[in-house]
Amino acid sequence: MNSGKTKLEIANRLKEVRLKKGLKQTDVAGTAGFNANYYAKVEHGEAKPSVETLEKILKAFKVRSSDILPF
């Protein structure tokens, strides 16, 4: 799987989880401790989050990495 496809798949899964939980992008960003604009870029596949950033997002969602990562 190439990195561009993986990044977009992660972005799509983040959005899917957020919507299922009834959260706004600003809710996730605030709970995770970073800027809402940055989170929006992550969710749209425009930013490549670090492992630490992904961990914060997963904790904000209260999900496991296997719920988001496509591998």
> What are the pLDDT digits (tens) for 34-53?
999 999 999 999 999 999 99
- Measured between alpha carbons, how far is 35 from 54 in angstroms, rounded to an integer? 14
Indicate the pTM of the whole model: 0.88
What's at 23, amino acid-wise?
L
CATH number given to 3-67: 1.10.260.40
- The pairs formed by 53-59 with CB atoms below 8 angstroms and a separation of 24 or more are 54/10, 56/32, 57/14, 57/28, 57/32, 59/32
Res 28 pLDDT > 60:
yes
- Measured between alpha carbons, how far is 26 from 66 in angstroms, rounded to an integer? 23
**pLDDT confidence band for 14 (50 / 70 / 90):** very high
